[in-house]
Every structure is written in C-alpha cells, then in structure tokens.
C-alpha cells in the first residue's frame, strides 16, 4: 500500500468514478452525526443512531461500518461523541474511498484500480467480520452488498446467490418455495461472501445445494445460579447440571443436534446458562423429548431448577424466526477467540472431565462461553475444499472471551484471552472457527484451515503472488503487517499495511 503521500491523484479517483458509472463514494463514518466537531453533526440522526447502534442492520447498510469497531480503531463511536462536545470522529481504519458495486464490471474496475495504483483493497459485504477483515486504513473499499440476485433451481436442488445476499433473504425464499438452506443464525450475515475473508479474489455469486423442507423439534431453557436472593440454583448444582449435558454430547450430536447456548456471569455471584435453542432438523417433538428424557431425569435427581420449553415447527424458518435471539453488535471492547473440540476428547473420560474442569475454570476466571454441540462429519462423496479440516471431527465448538479496556488493562485482558484462556484450551483442540476467532491466534493457518493450510498457501502464491487480496490472519497474510496502528497489543486495521 502506498504511503499517503504517494496516493494516486484526485483525478485518478474521478476517472474511477466515471468508469464505474458514479459508484465511487467517500463515506462519512456512521457515527459522525453524534460529533459536534464534525460537519455531519445532527442531533436527530444521532439519537436514532444511539438507539440502534447495537443492531446489526444499522451497520450492514453503511458502506464502511465495522460491527467489531475495536479492529477499525474505534475512531467514531457515537456514544463518545454524544458525551463530549470536543470529541473528534476520524475515518481511522475504514476505507477512504468505496466502490459500491452492483455488478461484476464495477468489481473488475475496483480490483484493477487497486492493482495498478498499489492502494490497499478491502472487500466488504455487511461488516460482520469479528477480526476486522472488512476494514483497512487508507484503502479502497469494494462494497459488494448491492450485488443481489437470488434464484432457486427446483430441479437441481440449488440456490444461486449474488454476493450481497443475506442469510435472511435466503431463509425467506426457502420458506416461500419449500426448501431448507443451511446458513448462519444472524439474519444480516452475508450468505455468499463470508467464509474466510477476501484472500483469493472477489466472489460475485455462488451456487449452493439446498435440502427439502423439513420439520424441526427442540427446546429452550434458562438455568441460573448464584448466591443472591434471586438465585435459583447454587453454583455446585449448576455445574453438575451443565456437566450432565456436556457428558452426553456424542449421543446428542449423533442424533443431529444443534445445541446453541450461552453462559454468562449474572452479577448474582453465579451464572446464567441460556439455551438459544437446541434443535434437531427432521425430528418430531415426541422423539426429541425421548432423547432429552434421561438428561431431565438426571437434573431432577440433582435438584436443578429448570423449566424446559419444547417446540415443534414445520420448517427451520419458523423455528428461526421464533426461537433465535437477535444478536447485539458494535461493542468496542469485545475480545473473543474460539476452539473446536474433537470427539476423541469424549472417548476418554479422564480427558473429557479434564476439559470440562478447564472450561469451568476459564469461565470462573471471567470468560463468557458461547457453546455449540454439533457434528460436521463430511458426508460420503464430499469433494476436497478449503473448509477447516478440524470441523470434521468436532463435537463442541466454544467461543470464549471478555471485555477489554484501553491501555495497560486492555493489553492484559487481550493477552489473557490469547495466551491464558485459549492457551489452556488448546491442549484439547488446536482448531478454531476462523470467522469467530482470535485475531491474535498464534498458529492461525493450522487453527483456521487444519491440514488444508499448506495446499491453500501454495494456491495463494500461485494465483495472487503480489498479495493484492490481503486480510488479517488470512491465507498467506504472514508477509505483511499493519504498522503504526493504535493498539500495539492487537492487530487493528488503523495503520499502514507494510511488508514484514
Ligand atoms: C452478530 C453476528 C452473528 C453471527 N452469526 C454467525 C452464525 O450464526 N454462523 C456463522 O457461521 N457465522 C456467524 N457469524 C460470523 C460471520 O459468518 C462472519 O462474521 C462472516 O465473516 C461475515 O461475512 P460477511 O460477508 O457478512 O461480513 P464482512 O465483514 O462484510 O466480510 C467478511 C470477510 O469476507 C470478505 N468478503 C465479504 N464478501 C466477499 C466477497 N464477495 N468476495 C470475497 N471476500 C468477501 C471480507 O473481505 C471479509 O474479510 C456472525 C457474526 C456476527 C457479527
């Protein structure tokens, strides 16, 4: 990336704007209306922004906004602007110019502009990326959110999605047309372009297989513990109840479970464990209740207070719209990382119990846990792909993390996530889900791609020898680093991208 003094002249951007039919934007940061020092200051807009700042749709519709602002440098936080009349809103790690692409020709023009000028290129769809990989200071952004187009091919059992298609749009089509699509839980996540960051090129459309419409049965519940007056369970019985669930992961996963739950400290001297939900596609409620019965009996024996709410629906969409939470985003201080734990841990009861004790200790040390009991074995005939090979024997995917502060405290917390919590858990599983991972993951190639990494690295060197496509902790990203960024202890994108 050229030093700012070596940027192409304004006339080059004028030409880019003309050739892309007026698609070039110079975006004002989303939070700017809350800053009295910014020309975009507007108290009405600011109030609306503050009310909706944690909703993902607020950010997804903006050309540069990052839902994990810490990695953009957090340079235009509306709460900061609203609280301090002298505060300044800066572009920080957001792209300087953006091509808002609606078609493939505009994508080609933006890519060629970056290749010919040496300006850093940053591809963005919705801005969901947890590692800041849709941000980059002094860059040209390529916003693919406008490339729509969603077509269901009933005969082939496939769906073709333009790069800007969201998960919600696919699920809504599935409900109308009577099929089931596999996708993320948050409706505004990109359905096509995610999955590893802009490393090899720009996806303009993708065709995926879909399945016949199927019913879904499941359960939701909340278990809380603590020492306060409102605590329903003591911490001892809480952990025993959790263990009774964890211990059965193999059996539940083999029946097709997707068990999605969260454990957070509740300020009552204990924890709240929320099942959000646990469901099995293709299973009826009676069979689901049968599967869960031994667990409920064990809980009864332990004296665990819990009120399970079972459900059954005709389609995944109906379960998704009724039972999944709406995720909050844009927390400036969140540091997370993840681990994929293999089935082999459950096949050795000593190791299994050691893992549970470690996870409990990490939570008791201050980490939150978002946990998934799943099975991602490749069905026969699955072709070779870039998918992380660690997924294939995963039984438990866990996201860990906590809140950082600025300065020394921030550095301490950040290192705790990487070196202490994830370090302790690495003993049981070296893999991590790259889209919901620690940006400081020491051996990210092995963790995010498993045995596929050496092959992907070879391909990267072949197809993009000049690293036109670069993202933090992406395939082949080792040769570059963001220098002079705001947080020395964290790879944030508010500095110049330089060769190592
Ligand atoms: C609230 C929330 C909920 C989530 N829920 C889930 C979930 O349920 N399941 C799950 O698997 N993940 C989930 N994720 C993680 C999500 O999959 C990743 O954040 C993913 O990277 C988002 O992709 P995106 O294109 O929407 O985001 P962006 O931030 O726009 O892009 C992500 C990365 O992909 C690259 N990219 C985007 N479009 C293209 C393209 N067309 N061509 C090439 N590169 C491209 C960008 O450069 C960037 O590196 C969630 C994230 C959040 C914040």
Same domain, 416 and 301: yes
Out of 415, 435, 453, pick the residue that ends a domain: 453
5, pLDDT greater than 70: no
pLDDT value at position 408?
83
Q: Is residue 129 part of a domain?
A: yes
Atom in ligand 1 nearest the alpha carbon of residue 167 = 26
Ligand 1, residues 59, 110, 134: which to mutate, most atoms within 8 A of Cβ? Answer: 134
Ligand 1, residues 103, 110, 123, 181: which to mutate, most atoms within 8 A of Cβ? Answer: 123
pLDDT value at position 184?
92
Q: Is residue 423 part of a domain?
A: yes
How would you class 42 by CB atoms within 10 Å of its CB: exposed for 0-12, middle for 13-18, buried for 19 or more?
middle
Mean pLDDT of 50-72: 97
Question: How many separate domains does the chain show?
Answer: 3
Same domain, 198 and 110: no
Q: Report the separation in Å between the CA atom of 277 and the middle of ligand 1, taken as the mean of its atom positions.
A: 22
Q: Is residue 418 part of a domain?
A: yes
Q: Report the separation in Å between the CA atom of 472 and the middle of ligand 1, taken as the mean of its atom positions.
A: 14
pLDDT value at position 389?
97
Q: Decide: 259 and 369 in contact? Cβ < 8 Å.
A: no
Q: pLDDT band at residue 447, thresholds of 50, 70 and 90?
A: very high
SS (H, E, C) 133-197: CCCCCCCEEEECCCCCCEEEECCCCEEEEECCCEHHHHHHHHHHHCEECCCCCCCCCECCCCCCC
Same domain, 49 and 15: yes
Q: Report the separation in Å between the CA atom of 435 and the middle of ligand 1, taken as the mean of its atom positions.
A: 7
pLDDT in tens, 216-272: 999 999 999 999 877 899 999 999 999 999 999 999 999 999 999 999 999 989 999
Same domain, 170 and 226: no
Out of 212, 227, 256, pick the residue that ends a domain: 212
**The pTM of the whole model exceeds 0.95:** yes
The overall average pLDDT reported for the chain is 95
CATH number, domain at 111?
3.30.43.10
pLDDT in tens, 420-432: 999 999 999 999 9
Strand 150-153 to 216-224 pairing: unpaired
Same domain, 108 and 189: no
* ∠ Cα 256 264 449 (to 5°): 50
Same domain, 128 and 158: no
Same domain, 199 and 108: no
Q: Report the separation in Å between the CA atom of 112 and the middle of ligand 1, taken as the mean of its atom positions.
A: 24
pLDDT in tens, 355-408: 999 999 999 999 999 999 999 999 899 998 999 999 999 999 999 999 887 778
Same domain, 235 and 327: yes
Ligand 1, residues 53, 99, 133, 193: which to mutate, most atoms within 8 A of Cβ? Answer: 193
Residue ranges of alpha helices (H) inside 365-421 are: 407-415
pLDDT value at position 1?
57
Same domain, 139 and 238: no
Same domain, 259 and 394: yes
Nearest Cα neighbor of 181 from 157, 206, 145 is 157
pLDDT in tens, 310-340: 999 999 999 999 999 988 999 998 999 999 9
Residues touching ligand 1 (Cβ under 6 Å) are 56, 67, 123-130, 133-134, 144, 163, 184-186, 189-190, 193-194, 197-198, 202-203, 327, 329, 435-436, 471
Mean pLDDT of 438-466: 96
Out of 86, 121, 145, pick the residue that ends a domain: 145
pLDDT value at position 228?
83
Least confident span in 114-123, 403-412, 482-491:
403-412
Q: Which range marks the domain in which residue 319 is found?
A: 216-453
Q: pLDDT band at residue 418, thresholds of 50, 70 and 90?
A: very high
298, pLDDT greater than 60: yes
CATH number, domain at 242?
3.40.462.20
Same domain, 105 and 163: no
Distance CA 98, CA 109 (A): 12
**CA-based torsion, 304, 309, 315, 317: positive or negative:** negative
pLDDT in tens, 78-104: 999 999 999 999 999 999 999 999 999
CA distances to 66, 82, 84, 150, 399 from 37, rounded to whole Å, are 22, 11, 10, 43, 38
CA-closest residue to ligand 1 atom 40: 193
Same domain, 204 and 223: no
pLDDT value at position 195?
55
CA-closest residue to ligand 1 atom 10: 184
pLDDT in tens, 163-212: 999 999 999 999 999 999 999 999 999 998 775 677 999 999 999 999 99
Q: Is residue 467 part of a domain?
A: no
Instruction: Dig out the tokens for 271 from the structure.
Output: 């924890």
Mean pLDDT of 463-483: 96
Per DSSP (E only), the strands in 17-56 are: 24-25
């Amino acid at each position: 990336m050229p030093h700012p003094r070596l940027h192409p002249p304004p006339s080059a951007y004028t030409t880019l704007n003309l050739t892309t039919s007026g698609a070039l934007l110079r975006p004002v940061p989303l939070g700017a209306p809350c800053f009295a020092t910014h020309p975009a200051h507007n108290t009405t807009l600011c109030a609306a922004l503050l009310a909706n700042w944690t909703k993902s749709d607020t950010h997804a519709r903006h050309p540069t906004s990052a839902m994990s602002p810490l990695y953009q440098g957090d340079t235009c936080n509306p709460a900061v602007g609203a609280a301090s009349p002298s505060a300044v809103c800066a572009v920080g790690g957001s792209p300087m110019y953006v091509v808002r692409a609606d078609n493939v020709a505009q994508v080609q023009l933006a890519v060629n502009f970056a290749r010919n000028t040496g300006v850093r290129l940053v591809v963005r769809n919705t801005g969901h990326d947890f590692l800041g990989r849709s941000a980059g200071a002094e860059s040209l952004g390529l916003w693919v959110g406008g490339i729509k187009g969603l077509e269901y091919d009933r005969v082939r059992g496939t769906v073709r999605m333009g790069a800007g298609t969201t998960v919600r749009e696919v699920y809504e089509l599935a409900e109308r047309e009577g099929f089931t699509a596999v996708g993320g839980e948050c409706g505004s996540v990109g359905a096509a372009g995610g999955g590893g960051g802009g490393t090899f090129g720009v996806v303009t459309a993708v065709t995926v297989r879909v399945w016949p419409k199927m019913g879904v049965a499941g359960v939701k519940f909340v278990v809380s513990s603590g020492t306060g007056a409102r605590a329903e369970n003591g911490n001892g019985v809480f952990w025993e109840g959790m263990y009774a669930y964890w211990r059965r992961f193999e059996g539940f996963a083999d029946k097709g479970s997707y068990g999605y739950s969260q454990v957070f400290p509740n300020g009552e001297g204990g924890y709240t464990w929320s099942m959000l939900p646990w469901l099995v596609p293709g299973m009826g409620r009676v069979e689901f209740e049968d599967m869960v019965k031994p667990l409920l009996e064990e809980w009864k024996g332990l004296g665990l207070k819990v009120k399970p709410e079972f459900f059954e629906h005709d389609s995944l969409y109906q379960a998704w719209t009724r039972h999944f939470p709406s995720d909050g985003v844009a927390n400036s201080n969140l540091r997370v990382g993840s681990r994929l734990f293999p089935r082999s841990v459950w096949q050795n009861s000593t190791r299994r119990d050691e893992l549970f004790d470690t996870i409990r200790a990490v939570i008791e040390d201050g980490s939150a846990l978002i946990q998934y009991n799943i099975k991602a074995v490749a069905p026969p005939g699955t072709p070779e792909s870039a998918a992380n090979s660690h997924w294939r024997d995963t039984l438990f995917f866990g996201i860990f993390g906590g809140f950082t502060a600025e300065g020394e405290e921030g550095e301490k917390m950040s290192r705790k996530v990487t070196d202490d919590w994830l370090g302790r858990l690495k003993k049981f599983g070296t893999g991590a889900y790259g889209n919901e991972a620690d940006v400081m993951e020491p051996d990210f190639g092995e963790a995010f791609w498993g045995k596929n990494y050496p092959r992907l690295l070879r391909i990267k060197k072949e197809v993009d020898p000049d690293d036109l496509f670069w993202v933090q902790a992406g395939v082949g990203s080792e040769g570059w680093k963001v220098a002079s960024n705001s947080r020395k202890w964290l790879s944030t994108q508010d500095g110049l991208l330089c060769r190592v």
